[in-house]
Amino acid sequence: MPVHLGQNVTNEVRVRIAPSPTGTLHVGTARTALYNYLYAKRHHGKFIFRLEDTDEVRSKDEHTADLIEGLHWLGLTWDEGPDIGGPFAPYKQTEKVAHYREIADSLVASGKAYLAYETVEELAEIKGDTADGHSRYDNRGRNYTAEQLEKFRAENRLPSIRFRIDEPRTVTWNDAIKGPISIDTSTLGGDMVIVKSNGVAIYNFAVVVDDVDMEITQVIRGEDHVNNTAKQILIYEALGHTVPEFGHVPLMNDIEHKKLSKRRHGESVHVGSYKNKGYMPEAIVNYLAQMSWTPADDREIFSLAEASEIFDLGKISKSPAVFDTQKLDWFNGHYIRSLPLDVITERSKAFIDASKLHEYSDTQLKELIGSVRENLTKLSDVSEHVDFYFGDTLTIPEDIQASVLNSDSAKQVLNKALHSVGTMPWGDNKGCKAIVDSIGKELKIKGKDLYWPLRAALSGKTHGPDLGLMLSVLGEKRVKARLESALGLCRSC
Ligand code: GLU
């Protein structure tokens, strides 16, 4: 048996998400993280979270916190990382600066990379704009003489390290999503910087070192990285490492087919904004998952766990995805209606004025939320729907007063209801409704003429949750106060 040498001798699937903490968690990054997570679960492998935090100026701790919180909120927990007690922390590139440098030096020693001494001004002159719109380095650093190098050193110039990109050559790979891809190395911009003159490794280099170190088997990331992949394959070769499988996920556009970006779309690309507005993480996960991937059985609604069993990278669409908030709202409404009422009640609490919550027990809150959840698209809508339940009295809008309370029958109904308060079986929705119906029978008033004055008095609206439930949840004190106050309005009208 030949000994299996090289990366990942166990053949375990190992994938990762590697965002930079230069911004908050973008919905596109969340979808890529999700596809990586699903791929890992489907193949009983590991999902890793690594922070590409080498940009000292733009990396921010609050962005790191947001990325972590967002991924946790979506349920995309990772399987490895520094142990900080509780969930793992992410791996960080800043902890490996010396390691990248060491590997880059080994490439210099083997002639696959070299020290390049051009100043920023010289580089600007060299690059210019080429006919195809791509600026490129003219590889002059390959040919400096010993004297020239000596002169640069004497001037105390700090070199960057450039990796040699041979041209002409075609780099090819069979992309797990896009199929065969070929990139001509002459389109890659010339020999590339892998370590800047300040000693910081460039993304295309650090990412390869990390993916090798972490024994990554599949690199699943956004389509915007296709050209980077060609560069990275050249680095894998130079380092003598097995190239992982690559899968490039299509970009995400808005409904007008414009790329989703923070600049153009503001907070609506930020996963945390959906949390703040009362979206269900289950809905976001389902929506993002089905955006570019359709399960073999065409089902549209599925949980993270269900998707983990059937996810197929090869079935990801090649065409751009469309982020459509109306469609997301449809998914969210579905989950608000179908998740256990306990869960929805607990999550709704964050959207109800905390100073009011004590008015009801948890069981009553559950009924109260249950009575309105059909109408909710997101939980931030909950307060406008349940607001009338709180407080002894409420303000009845003038148009409702005029159209509903301004009649003799309304006065009769409210009077009779007020006298029946003592007989209401509080806590029994059907029993309360039965009392209302018996009032109607006795007064020979039915339909709108019976129900609307009561609804107006109790909720300030003519439509809403089941009347029996409203009475039963509101309870004796509130019902009495509200009927009295509505009757007061009746008398004056
Ligand atoms: N920081 C890069 C990004 O978020 C990582 C790309 C990769 O996965 O290699 O786009």
Question: Three-state DSSP class for 438?
Answer: helix
- Specify the residue for token string 């609490």: 349
Distance, in Å, from the CA atom of 238 to the CA atom of 172, rounded to the nearest integer, reads 16
pLDDT number for residue 126:
81
Residue nearest to atom 5 of ligand 1 (CA): 18
pLDDT for 132 equals 58
Question: In this structure, which residue's CA is closest to atom 10 in ligand 1?
Answer: 19
**Any idea where the domains of the chain sit in the sequence?**
90-207, 262-386, 391-492
Query: Amino acid letter at 249?
Result: V
| Distance from the alpha carbon of residue 457 to the mean position of ligand 1, in angstroms | 58
Listed residue (400, 412, 423, 394) closest to 487, CA to CA: 412
CATH number of the 262-386 domain: 1.10.1160.10
Q: What are phi and psi of 17, to 5 degrees?
A: -115, 135
Q: Whose CA is nearest to atom 4 of ligand 1?
A: 19
Q: How far is the CA of 50 from the centre of ligand 1 (A)?
A: 10
Place of tokens 């959906």: 274
Q: Which amino acid type is present at position 461?
A: K
Q: What is the pLDDT of residue 5?
A: 35
Digit-by-digit pLDDT tens for the chain (493 residues) are 333 334 444 689 999 999 999 999 999 999 999 999 999 999 999 999 999 999 989 999 999 999 999 999 999 999 999 999 999 999 999 999 999 999 999 999 999 999 999 998 888 888 765 555 567 899 999 999 999 999 999 999 999 999 999 999 999 999 999 999 999 999 999 999 999 999 999 999 999 999 999 999 999 999 999 999 999 999 999 999 999 999 999 999 999 999 998 899 999 999 999 999 999 999 999 999 999 999 999 999 999 999 999 999 999 999 999 999 999 999 999 999 999 999 999 999 999 999 999 999 999 999 999 999 999 999 999 999 999 999 998 999 999 999 999 999 999 999 999 999 999 999 999 999 999 999 999 999 999 999 999 999 999 999 999 999 999 999 999 999 999 999 999 865 5
Task: Compute how many other C-beta atoms are within 10 angstroms of the C-beta atom of residue 194.
Answer: 27
Ligand 1 neighbourhood includes 221 CB (under 6 angstroms):
yes
**Distance, CA of 441 to CA of 222 (rounded, Å):** 67
Task: Provide the edge-to-edge strand list for the sheet that holds 113-116.
Answer: 113-116, 160-163, 192-195
Helix (H) or strand (E) holding 368, with range, is: helix 362-370
In the reported structure, the alpha carbon of residue 259 is separated from the centroid of ligand 1 by a whole-number distance in angstroms of: 17
In 265-295, which positions are buried (b, 16+ CB within 10 angstroms) versus exposed (e)? Answer: beeebbbeebbebbbbbbbbbbbbbbbbbeb
Homologous superfamily (CATH) of 90-207 is: Glutamyl-tRNA Synthetase; Domain 3 (3.90.800.10)
DSSP output for 111-138: TSEEEE---HHHHHHHH---TTS-----
- Give the pLDDT score at 2: 31
AA identity, residue 117: Y
Out of 151, 258, 262, 441, the active site residue is 262
Q: Whose CA is nearest to atom 3 of ligand 1?
A: 19
Q: Is 356 a catalytic residue?
A: no
- Three-state DSSP at 50 gives strand
| Tokens standing for residue 261 | 């970006």
> Given this model, what pLDDT does residue 10 score?
65
- The pLDDT value given to residue 128: 60
Q: Name the residue of 20, 78, 220, 262 whose CB sits within 8 Å of the most ligand 1 atoms, as the mutation to test its pocket.
A: 20
Give the length of the chain: 493
CA distance 256 to 263: 16
Structure tokens at 182: 């070929």
Q: Which CATH number fits domain 391-492: 3.40.50.1220, 1.10.10.350, 1.20.210.10, 3.10.129.10?
A: 1.10.10.350
pLDDT at 1: 30
Amino acid at 369: I
